[in-house]
Amino acid sequence: MKNKRKKHEAIQGIAFLSPAIIVIGIFIMSSIIFALYISFHKVNLFTGYYEFIGLDNYKRIFTDTKTRIAFINILSFVVVVVPIQTIIALIMAAVLNTNIRGKIGFRTIYFLPTLTSSAALTMIFMFLFSLDGPVNKLAVNMNLLSESINFLNNPKFALKVIMSMNIWSTVPFYMTIYLAGLQEVPKSIYEASSVDGANGFQKFIHVTVPQLKPITTFVLLMGIIGTFQMFDQAYIFSGGSGGPENSTLTVALLIYRNAFGQNNTMGFATAMSIMLSIVVFIVSFIAQKLNKSDSLY
C-alpha cells in the first residue's frame, strides 16, 4: 500500500514537471546540443553547407587578433564596471535606508535609468560626450580641459564612456536589490552596535556589509554575467563596427559579426559563444568563492 502511494506521488510529480521539461528540452537543451555540433563544423547558413573541421574553430580563437582584442576589452570592462557598480549600489542603498528626508523621492529618481531603454541611454550619453556636448563645454569652462576632446572617436576614451554609461544604468537596479536585503537585517544588531559605541561608518563596515554578503554575491554574479554579454551599447555606440580602432569591440559584438555579418562564419561564432560561457562560469565561480557568502549560513 505504501509503495503504491509513493508510485502514485512519483507519477504526479513527473506529470507536473513534464511541461517544463519539454519546453527546456526543445528550446534550451536542443539549442545547446546543436551549438556544440556546429562549433566543430565550417558552416554556411545560406547554402546549408556543413564540413567537419574538428577543433579548428577553437584553435582559431587563440590565434585570431580581433578575438584577442575583444576578450581583452571585455575583461577590462568587467574588472572596472562590476566592482564600481557594486560598491556604489551598496552605499546608495545604505544611505537611502536611513531616515533621511525625501528618501522615497530619491529612490524613485534613482530608479528611473532602469526604466529607460538601453538604446535611449546610449544616445543620451553619445550626446553628452560629443565634441560639442555638455561634458566638453563644462570641462572647458572650468579650465579642466584646454580644448574639447572627441570622446566618441578617440580609442583612449570610447570604451570608458560605455563603462560610465553601463555603471550609471545598472546601479539603480542593484541598489533596489540591496534595499530589499537591508529590510531583512535585524535592527537588534544595529542597536547592539550602538550600545558598544559604534558610529555610522563602523556599523556600515562591521554590520551592513557582512550581513549583505549573500546579496553581494548575487549582485556580483549578475554584474559579471551582464558585462560579459555586453552587446547593445557597444553596437549602437560604434554602429556595429566595434570602433574606433576596435576599442569598443566586445566578444558578444564579435560573435554577432561572425555569425550574421559578411564573414558568415557561424561555426567560429558558435565556438566563441561556448568559450565565452566557459569564461563567464569560471569568473563567476571565482567571484563567489572570494566573497565567501556561505560563511553566514
* pLDDT tens profile 63-74: 999 999 999 999
Quick check: 295 pLDDT over 50? no
Cell numbers for 149: 576632446
- pLDDT of 294 strictly over 90: no
- The per-residue pLDDT for 253 is 93
* Residue 90, pLDDT above cutoff 90: yes
- Over residues 210-239, mean pLDDT: 90
Answer whether the bond into residue 210 is a cis peptide, omega within 30°.
Answer: no
Backbone angles phi, psi at 51, to 5 degrees: -135, 125
Cα distance between residue 49 and residue 61, in whole Å: 22
Looking at the chain, the whole-number percentage of residues with pLDDT higher than 70 is 97
Q: For residue 52, what are the β-bridge partners?
A: 41
Q: Which of 119, 129, 123, 133 is nearest to 156 (CA)?
A: 129
- Cell numbers found for residue 90: 551598496
Nearest to 226 by CA among 157, 163, 156: 163
Tell me the pLDDT tens digit for each residue of 150-188. 888 889 999 999 999 999 989 999 999 999 999 888 888
* Distance, CA of 88 to CA of 178 (rounded, Å): 11
* Mean pLDDT confidence for 197-201: 87
Say what the pTM is: 0.84
Residue 296 carries which DSSP code?
A: G
Report the distance separating Cα 72 and Cα 81, nearest Å: 14
Phi, psi of 28 (to 5 degrees): -115, -60
Give the torsion sign (CA, 190, 195, 197, 199): positive
Distance CA 243, CA 245 (A): 5
Please give the pLDDT value at position 288.
78
User: Which residue's C-alpha cell is 564573414?
Assistant: 263
